[in-house]
Amino acid sequence: MKKLITIFTFIVLAFFANAQNVKMADVMKESGKIYVVIAVMLTILGGLVLYLIRLDRKISRLEKNK
Amino acid sequence: MRKSWWKILGVLLLVYTFIAGLLIEVPRNPQLQETIRNLFFHVCMWMGMMILFIVSFVRAIMYLRTNKHIHDIASRQYAGVGILFGLLGYLTGAIWMSYTWIDSNKSIFNSFDTIAREPKLIGAAIALLVYAAYLVLRDSIQDIDKKARISAVYNIFAFAMLFPSIWIIPRLLDSLHPGGSEGNPALDPGSASANMRLVFYPAIAGWTLIGVWIATLKIRMKIIHEQKLSQ
Q: Confidence band (pLDDT; 50, 70, 90) for B216?
A: very high
**Cα nearest neighbour of B211 on chain A:** A52
CB-based contact B61:B224 (threshold 8 Å): no
A57 touches chain B (CB under 8 A): yes
SS3 assignment, position A66: coil
Residue A56 is nearest to which of B1, B19, B23, comparing CB atoms?
A: B1
In a domain, A43, yes or no: yes
Q: What is the DSSP string of B101-131?
A: T--TTS-HHHHHHHHTT-HHHHHHHHHHHHH
Decide: B82 and B49 in contact? Cβ < 8 Å: yes
Residue B109 pLDDT > 80: no
B174, B167, B37: which is closest to B100 by C-alpha? B37
Domain range for A56:
23-66
Tell me how many domains chain A contains: 1
- pLDDT at residue B147 greater than cutoff 70: yes
Residue B102 predicted with pLDDT over 60 = yes
Q: Whole-model pTM?
A: 0.84
Q: Which of A20, A34, A55, A64 would best serve as a mutation to test chain B binding (most B beta carbons within 10 A)?
A: A55
A9 assigned to some structural domain: no
Complex prediction ipTM: 0.70
How far is CA B211 from each of CA A50, B10, B81, B123, B165, rounded to the nearest angstrom?
15, 9, 6, 22, 22
Task: Report the C-alpha gap between B174 and B180 in whole angstroms.
Answer: 5
What is the number of domains present in chain B?
A: 1
State the Cα–Cα distance between residues B165 and B91, nearest whole angstrom.
18
Q: Residue B105 pLDDT > 70, yes or no?
A: yes
Q: Which of A42-46, B45-49, B113-117 has maximum average pLDDT?
A: B45-49
- Where is average pLDDT lowest: A46-50, B153-157, B194-198? B194-198
Interatomic CA distance for residues B191 and B36, integer angstroms: 9
Is A45 among the domain residues? Answer: yes
Mutate to test the interface with B, among A35, A57, A61, A62 (most CBs of B within 10 A): A62
Q: What is the pLDDT of residues B9-66, one digit of tens each?
A: 999 999 999 999 988 888 887 777 888 888 899 999 999 999 999 999 999 999 999 9
Q: Is B33 on the interface with A (CB under 8 A)?
A: yes
Range of the domain at B182: 5-198+205-230
Arithmetic mean of pLDDT over chain A: 74
